[in-house]
Amino acid sequence: MDESWCGHGKNSSLNRGLIALLAGAACIALSPIFVRLSEAGPTATAFWRVALAVPALWLLILFRKGAAGGDFSGKKLLLFAAGLAFAGDLAFWHSSIQLTSVANSTLLANLASIFVTLAAWVFFGQRPTGLFLAGLAGALAGVAMLVRTSLGFSGTALIGDALGVVTAMFYAGYILAVKGLRDRGETTLRLMAVTTTLTALILLPVALASGEQMLPRTPYGWIVLLGLALISHAAGQGLIAYALAHLPATFSSVGLLLQPVIAAFFAWALLGEPLVALQIVGGAVVLAGIYLARRGSS
Residues 79-134: tens digit of each pLDDT:
999 999 999 999 999 999 999 999 899 989 988 888 888 888 888 777 888 888 88
For residues 271 and 105, the answer to whether their CB atoms sit within 8 Å is: no
Residue 118: C-alpha distances to residues 127, 228, 233, 294 (Å) = 9, 31, 27, 12
pLDDT above 80 (res 10): no
Least Cα distance to 96 among 280, 214, 291, 88 occurs for 88
pLDDT at 89: 95
pLDDT above 60 (res 62): yes
pLDDT at 236: 87
| Sign of CA pseudo-dihedral 6, 9, 11, 17 | negative
Average pLDDT over residues 204-230: 95
Average pLDDT over residues 66-78: 69
Q: Model pTM?
A: 0.85
pLDDT at 11: 64
pLDDT at 4: 47
Reported confidence tier of residue 165, pLDDT bands at 50, 70, 90: very high
Reported confidence tier of residue 1, pLDDT bands at 50, 70, 90: very low
For residues 233 and 196, the answer to whether their CB atoms sit within 8 Å is: yes
| Sign of CA pseudo-dihedral 126, 131, 134, 135 | negative
pLDDT at 5: 41
Average pLDDT over residues 220-243: 89
Neighbouring C-beta atoms of residue 182, cutoff 10 Å: 12
pLDDT above 50 (res 172): yes
Reported confidence tier of residue 289, pLDDT bands at 50, 70, 90: confident
